[in-house]
Amino acid sequence: MDPFADYRHCALCPRDCKRDRVKGVLGFCGESSICRVSFIGPHFGEEPSFTGVRGSGTIFFSGCSSQCFFCQNYQISIEHEGRTITPSELLFEARSLIRKGVHNLNFVTPDHFWPHIQELCRALREEGIKIPMLFNCSGYQRPEKIREYAAWMDIFLPDFKFAEPELAQVCMGDERYPELALEAIHEMVRAKGFLRPWDVTGNQVAKQGVLVRHLVLPGHTENSLKVLRTLYKEFGPEIPLSVMSQFRPVPGCEKKQKLTRTLQTEEYGQVLGLVRELGFEKVYTQELREEAAFLPDFRDPVNPFPGNRRGS
């Protein structure tokens, strides 16, 4: 069986483009069946549960099926910065990364290159490599694909970006995001449970489970409050969260004349107030700072990921 057959009439994500990527026809994600990556290396800007002391072994894929205009990684998701990589080169680079001692393999924006990732995981597992595999995604997944992912992945790190369909429509052109993301997160939790062990110092890195990320958008605290209330209602206060304040305007914001400023202290404070009020027990937060330290620059190969996380 052709392991890359899913690239034909592609339905890997909810866009369901049905394009033949093998013939080079691009779908909404903007990528053909030739795998492209923008960065492979240890990353210390993720939450301590993933970075530990030796870093998270990130593999950033070019393109994205969400195409949010404000994407903080817009250089690779929207501008498609990156290089082509063959399956054997990907395997070679993943092995090198593992030899550096990283705590996990962290596949960032993986869904549209899932067939390549599945083959990579198969090869590594056959070699007896047991390192945790991490699916670092937008939340915009086909819920019915999660079981297939879970056969290879140990950790799911989904966003829950929008609880408001209207906001999802404006930002990424699909008002179905809230229901799809929620269903996908349910499937992830069913498959792997909550993230564990939970240690915000990073001394004990996570081995399995789900942590949900939410980036608070300036001027849209109502959306964030709805996200928190929804997660609380669906999963209770034990669901591990990362509530992020690091939003910075990117060129797409200027073009759309939306989200053209950073988050204000009061806005983030209001969101964290509800985190406390609802009693979420496992939460990473960030310091709200003015400098643009959180915006990655994928043209800087030495240190593209400044930033930090605090946990409770």
* Shorter beta-carbon distance to ligand SF4: residue 22 or 191: 22
* Contacting ligand SF4 within 101-120 (CB under 6 A): 112
State in angstroms the smallest separation of the CB of 20 from ligand SF4: 9
Q: Strand order in 105-108's β-sheet?
A: 83-84, 36-43, 56-61, 105-108, 133-137, 155-158, 209-210
Cβ atoms < 10 Å from Cβ of 42: 17
142 binds ligand SF4 (CB under 6 A): no
* Contacting ligand SF4 within 43-72 (CB under 6 A): 65
250 binds ligand SF4 (CB under 6 A): no
What CA–CA distance (Å, rounded) separates 27 from 25?
7
State in angstroms the smallest separation of the CB of 130 from ligand SF4: 29
State in angstroms the smallest separation of the CB of 30 from ligand SF4: 8
Residues in the chain: 312
State in angstroms the smallest separation of the CB of 63 from ligand SF4: 7
Site string for ligand SF4, 14-33 (x = CB under 6 A): -xxx-x-x-----xxx----
Report, in this order, helix, strand and coil percent for the chain, each rounded to 5: 35, 15, 50
What CA–CA distance (Å, rounded) separates 50 from 65?
24
Distance of alpha carbon 299 from the chain centroid: 20
11 binds ligand SF4 (CB under 6 A): yes
Residues that bind ligand SF4 in the complex, under the rule CB under 6 A:
10-13, 15-17, 19, 21, 27-29, 65, 112
